[in-house]
Amino acid sequence: MGIPHFLVIPFPTQGHLNPSMQFSHALAKHGCNVTFISTEFNHKRVMMKAASSDQENLLGSKIKLASLPDGLDPEDERGDLQKLLLSIKKTMPSRLPKLIDEINALDDISKISCIVVTVNMGWALEIGSRLGIKGALLWPASATSLSLCDSIHSFIDGGVIDSEYGLPIKSQKIHLSPSMPLMDPKDLPWISLGRIFFEHLVQEMQTCKLAQWWLCNAVHELEPAAFSSSSRLSPIGGPMLASSDYNPTTFWEEDRTCLHWLDQQPSQSVIYVSFGSWSVLDPNQFTELALGLDLLDMPFLWVVKPGNEQYNAYPQEFKGTKGKIVGWAPQKKVLKHPAIACFISHCGWNSTLEGLYGGVPFLCLPIRNDQFVNKFFICEVWKVGLGLDKQENGVISGDEIKKKVELVRGSEDIKAMSLKCKEIVMENMEKEGGHYVRNLNNFIKWTKE
Rounded to a whole number of angstroms, the minimum distance from the CB of residue 113 to ligand UDP is 27
- Buried-state track 264-296, b at ≥16 Cβ within 10 A, e below 16: ebeeebbbbbbbbbbbbbeeebbbbbbbbbbeb
Nearer to ligand UDP, 38 or 113 (CB): 38
Choose the stretch contacting ligand UDP; rule: CB under 6 A; options: 74-82, 117-125, 315-323, 347-355. Answer: 347-355
| Contact pattern from residue 14 through residue 33 relative to ligand UDP, giving x for each residue in contact according to CB under 6 A and a dash for the rest | xx--x---------------
Q: Which of 214, 227, 286, 349 is the binder for ligand UDP (CB under 6 A)?
A: 349
Find the part of the chain contacting ligand UDP (CB under 6 A) among 27-35, 151-159, 348-356, 401-409.
Answer: 348-356
**225 backbone dihedrals φ, ψ, rounded to 5°:** -65, -40
Nearer to ligand UDP, 246 or 446 (CB): 246
Q: Which stretch binds ligand UDP (CB under 6 A): 58-66, 218-226, 344-352, 410-418?
A: 344-352
- Give the shortest CB-56-to-ligand UDP separation in angstroms: 17
CB of 141 to ligand UDP, least distance (A): 8
Asked if residue 435 lies in contact with residue 428, where contact means CB atoms within 8 angstroms, the answer is yes
Three-class secondary structure of residue 399 per DSSP: helix
According to DSSP, residue 354 is labeled: H
Q: Is 332 a binder of ligand UDP (CB under 6 A)?
A: yes
Q: How far is the CB of 278 from ligand UDP (least distance, A)?
A: 5
Judge whether 214 and 139 are in contact, CB under 8 Å. yes
* 8 Å CB contact between 371 and 346: yes
Which alpha helices (H) appear in 59-122, and where do they start and end?
81-91, 96-104
Q: By the 8 A CB rule, do 292 and 317 touch?
A: no
Long-range contacts of 169-177 (CB under 8 A, 24+ apart): 176/144, 176/147, 176/148, 176/151, 176/225, 176/226, 176/229, 177/225, 177/228, 177/229
Among 42, 351, 418, 428, binds ligand UDP (CB under 6 A): 351
Strand-pair category, 233-235 with 213-216: parallel
Q: Interface with ligand UDP by CB under 6 A: which range of 30-38, 83-91, 290-298, 324-332?
A: 324-332
Q: Which of these ranges, 11-19, 197-205, 206-214, 215-223, lies near ligand UDP under the rule CB under 6 A?
A: 11-19
| Closer to ligand UDP by Cβ: residue 160 or 258 | 258
Q: How many residues line the site for ligand UDP (CB under 6 A)?
A: 19
Q: At what angle do helices 195-207 and 81-91 cross, to 10 degrees?
A: 40
Residues 259-298: x where in contact with ligand UDP by CB under 6 A, - otherwise, as a string: ---------------x-xxxx-------------------
Separation in Å, CA 248 to CA 54, 78, 95, 322: 11, 19, 24, 31
Tell me if 189 contacts ligand UDP by CB under 6 A. no
Q: Which is nearer to ligand UDP, 113 or 277 (CB)?
A: 277
Angle between helices 14-29 and 435-448 (to 10 degrees): 80
Residues within window 354-393 making contact with ligand UDP, judged by CB under 6 A: 354
CB of 174 or CB of 188, closer to ligand UDP: 188
Among residues 331, 397, 418, 447, which is the contact residue for ligand UDP, using CB under 6 A?
331
Tell me which residues touch ligand UDP (CB under 6 A): 13-15, 18, 274, 276-279, 303, 328-329, 331-332, 348-351, 354
